[in-house]
Structure 1
């Protein structure tokens, strides 16, 4: 049986902060012909005209539409928000050949199962994006910490392990920051546990990472929300422990105090948030397993109220501006 060739071409779907951060590092190593950003016609043309900037320079991407894609990619890196996944399904499909692999850098514990249902589990390499604090301002990427992608197999299946190794080889060759782990279900749930705590608490308290790094009510809420995920893990069989809890606290405490997580950024900008991916999923699993989730229920209600308030304010501004 012919072995798949080394991964050479990468397609980025989603050019937000993570798309620029991770795609930009690959483009600098592989060159613009090998790393392409796939978008609809209008968006692709705007990117061609304006570009995006990282580290003070324009990132050397090639911008393509599905229609002008010359050949399938070896790897598709998906960097959208979860609620955008359905919309970019055709973009992902346009990049696939027989051996194309897919890596999702999305938050949460659900995107890989959705992608596997659409495109086949034999394409998936599970990943967790962690330790970065990037945000996009206009066409510029702002960050202090680049973070990394953690990849690994969810099972002992040889084919899955080989897929992980193919991606790891690309990352080693391009000096892309990454770690390969042998406990991916635990790592996936650990990062989700952190996101449940930090994304929602910072958003509700209208703060920054510093809000949950300092002792006080907000940090207590942040940790309590995480503990509810820890309790769920025992029922889900994903193996989270108190050591994992402490590990993710250390990760959080090492991030730029002035930065903000994505849910807080989205809430401030009036964009749809990933609340359902965090508290929504915790509450659903809590009901399924019979585990109380009062902290996430409070976070869910509070952030929903802020979303409604932001929507009303936006509508009011829109009406007054038309007078």
Structure 2
């Protein structure tokens, strides 16, 4: 194994996991990148392969049992859905060593706390995945915008700052698009604000990004849902303002109009979705702070009806 380059393990092989793997695989030895999954999934991934925008790519699929004979990962990137996080804890554990760091690309503002409780807060570096439009259909990964992972320290403690620097260096080595935030709490809440608006509104109207990019009722709902999040962020001590609001709207307006956010992809495929991370979180915090959330109440109810329809 090449000791000069890091060993990276990816947990979760949906659109984001496959996107990150396809980028990293071009800049790292085959054995240094692991897609960690159970035996059944590893066999299926190996048999089916992966094509990225139509081009086949060969990746290293590894089970937890096989990992016992391997060195621990330098970095674990978690890309599952939030409701699968507890189930993949053994996969993550199989990659952990004394110096392993963990980055979560999950939606919402909760996964890092769960990972910190399980593996120690000194192993978790906060991250936000943004500006990507990847979707996975069977063994086909399709994307126009690779986006980036934004990382940052949540405190001024030396360990937090050093760990962010370590992850930044790893991302630089493997040429994974990234940036470092000087205000990670604001970035986390900003991404939650965007996701709460765009993911849910596009799903509610069963559309694509252009559903909220074009002038009309869906765009107004998208923005109104975001404003409810902004009010709650302020109540939680995170100073999101108009400049932040406009910045996140601009990010969404520049995405591929024909693509779909993850929540819409899940519903279209007949799967459950992460509405609890978005409207569920905002409605609950709205009650805590006495802030009305009528738009998120409507989205919450409407998306649950779509999930019930999927269930038959």
Q: Return the TM-score normalized by structure 1.
A: 0.93
Equivalent residue, structure 1, for 2:255: 255
Cα distance, 1:174 vs structure 2: 2.1
CA distance in 1: counterparts of 2:295 and 2:173, whole angstroms: 44
Q: Could you tell me how far 1:58 is from its partner in structure 2?
A: 2.9
In 2, distance between residues paired with 1:59 and 1:112?
Answer: 30
Give the alignment of 1:179-190 within 5 angstroms.
179-190=179-190
Note if 1:33 corresponds to 2:36: no
Shift >6 Å, 4+ stretches: none
Cα distance in 2 between the residues matched to 1:55 and 1:34: 23
1:109 aligns with 109
Bigger mean CA deviation after superposition, 228-237 or 40-49 = 40-49
The aligned residue for residue 20 of structure 2 is 22
Shift of 1:6: 7.5
CA distance in 2, matches of 1:137, 1:272: 16
TM-score if structure 2 supplies the norm length?
0.96
Q: Structure 2: any 5+ residue segments left out of the alignment?
A: none
Structure 1 residues 1-323: aligned runs within 5 Å? 8-69=6-67, 70-312=70-312
Q: Tell me the matched-pair count.
A: 308
Distance 2:174 2:71 in 1: 22
Distance (whole Å) between structure 2 residues aligned to residue 67 and residue 303 of structure 1: 39
The answer to whether the 8 A contact 1:73-1:95 is kept is yes
Q: Is the 8 A contact 1:80 1:106 kept in 2?
A: yes
Q: Is the 8 A contact 2:196 2:278 kept in 1?
A: yes
What's the RMSD between the two structures over aligned residues? 1.2
Is this contact kept in 2: 1:7–1:75, CA < 8 A? no
Secondary structure of the corresponding residue to residue 67 of structure 1: helix
Give the CA deviation at 1:55: 4.0
Cα deviation 1:230-262 (Å, max 9, x = unaligned): 000111112211111000000000000000101
Cα distance in 1, alignment partners of residues 261 and 196 from structure 2: 11
